[in-house]
Amino acid sequence: MHRAVLRTLAYSVMAAALILLARASEVPLKALVGQFMLKEVWEKSIATGNEFKPWPSADFKVAGELTVPRLGLSQIVLDRASGEAMTWGIGTVSIEARNSSSIILAGHRDTHMQFMAKLRIGDLVNFHSSDASFQTYKIIKSMVIETPQLNVENRFDDFNLPVSGSMRFEKRPNQSRSELDLYRTFDGSMGSVTPSMGYTTEETKYRDGQADVKNRARTVRLGLDGATTLGPVDISGNAMGSRTMQDNTYTFPFASFTQGSSSTFTKLGAAAKMGAFDFNVSRQKSTGMEPVYSGSIGMNIGDGGRISYSDSSTGEPRIDARYRMEF
């Protein structure tokens, strides 16, 4: 009785494994077999100048042939980039793009477009369409774009404003960030003082198990920089403080709740320089953390040499020496 149960269980596991293996190999198998089937339809398209479906139920037609002479590669291109089409071959993103001198193609990088990893700058890529037109392209640059991104920055230098600064905005899928920085420098007989302020908002959305999570953070920054000269010594100092308010909203199918938190960060620094010698110290403090103190003293040697000693409350003392020569 127990053997029969174990045997049945073993057969069930084997059957499930075979089903998963078949599903996993479905796209690669279509990619391999599909090119042979599509080439026959492509030859028919070339002979007649028309586009044809490879079989009646297909939601795509054969639109052209892509070749890379250096790789000896030939791939049939389909007239659209639907889910079904891209399991069989490379698809065009739009008919309008395909009918112009610019062509936008889409495909799976682990099957039909696996050759992309072998392309080099200077390679020629040919596209022969079903209407008998022939285009040759030369690769002059390559890049990888992870996600669509919008990045806008506007500085206030061109405006007649009493303050200087900049405004930045970034937008990606499920993530956005906006930042505003303002400052103004006041010069006087004793030196200069520059107060500044900034405000940043950032929002991120992601999925965590059954919950949709939205993280929203808002940070306010205030700063003050100053500089003066006392005889042969140039002295500067800075102080900065920020406060961040953060909300995490978790939305489940049955309920939602929000967790809020806040944190602060402060930094004080001072520096002095006299001839070849310089000196600086700083103190940083974050919420829930011990203050971090650091400092360094250094000396420049000639045009390309420098020796310095630095230490901090969280690390070991360090001595650096370097010399740069230009030929």
Give residue 92's pLDDT band: very low, low, confident or very high (50, 70, 90): confident
For residue 97, is pLDDT > 50?
no
Q: Which residue has the higher pLDDT, 191 or 82?
A: 191
Which pairs with CB-CB distance under 8 Å and at least 24 residues apart come from 226-233? 226/191, 226/192, 226/193, 226/194, 227/191, 227/192, 228/190, 228/191, 228/192, 229/191, 232/274, 232/275, 233/272, 233/273, 233/274
Domain boundaries, the chain: 2-138, 150-323
Q: Which residue has the higher pLDDT, 303 or 193?
A: 193
* Spatial distance between the Cα atoms of 312 and 144, rounded to a whole number of angstroms: 40
Which pLDDT belongs to residue 130? 73
Which pLDDT belongs to residue 33? 58
- Cα distance from N-terminal residue to C-terminal residue, the chain: 86
Look at 74-78, 121-125, 130-134 and tell me which has the smallest mean pLDDT: 130-134
* Spatial distance between the Cα atoms of 196 and 164, rounded to a whole number of angstroms: 9
- In tens, the pLDDT along 1-28 reads 445 544 555 445 455 444 444 444 444 4
For residue 299, is pLDDT > 50?
yes
- Using alpha carbons, select from 202, 170, 167 the residue that is nearest to residue 183: 167
Main-chain phi, psi angles of 231, to 5 degrees: 65, -125
Q: What is the pTM of this model?
A: 0.50
Look at 15-19, 169-173, 197-201, 272-276 and tell me which has the smallest mean pLDDT: 15-19
- In tens, the pLDDT along 232-282 reads 999 999 999 999 999 989 888 888 888 888 999 999 999 999 988 999 999
Mean pLDDT to the nearest integer, 102-108: 79
Mean pLDDT to the nearest integer, 204-217: 86
> Residue 99 to residues 64, 104, 187, 301: CA-CA distances in angstroms?
11, 10, 62, 65
- Using alpha carbons, select from 217, 183, 178, 181 the residue that is nearest to residue 198: 181
For residue 231, is pLDDT > 70?
yes
CATH, range 2-138:
2.40.260
